[in-house]
Amino acid sequence: MEIEAKAPVAEMFGFASAIRSATGGRVLWNTENLGFEPLPRNLRDPIVKKIRERKGLKPDPYPAEYYMG
């Protein structure tokens, strides 16, 4: 069986282990970068906050004025 799909990179973490476990190691797969697509704002903002918190940064970025000296 051949399956073609498109998935966000963030959702692919752990895929190799999961597919091996599900198939008893009898699967071959290939991944390929298809480029980038912008996220809708309602998805982007929570993801950016989550990444900033993981990196030890404040959840909201500084305003542009902060960087203008």
Q: What is the pLDDT of residues 3-41, one digit of tens each?
A: 888 888 888 888 889 989 999 989 888 888 888 888 888
Half-sphere exposure of 48 (CA within 13 A, CB side): 11
Q: Is pLDDT of 61 > 90?
A: no
Q: How confident is the model at residue 56 (pLDDT cuts 50, 70, 90)?
A: very high
Query: What does DSSP assign to residue 28?
Result: -
| Torsion of the alpha carbons at 27, 33, 38 and 42, rounded to the nearest 10 | 20
Q: What token pair was written down for 60?
A: 């909201």
Contact 45, 53 (CB under 8 A): no
Higher pLDDT, 55 or 61: 55
Q: What token pair was written down for 22?
A: 């599900």
Higher pLDDT, 29 or 52: 52
Q: How confident is the model at residue 60 (pLDDT cuts 50, 70, 90)?
A: confident
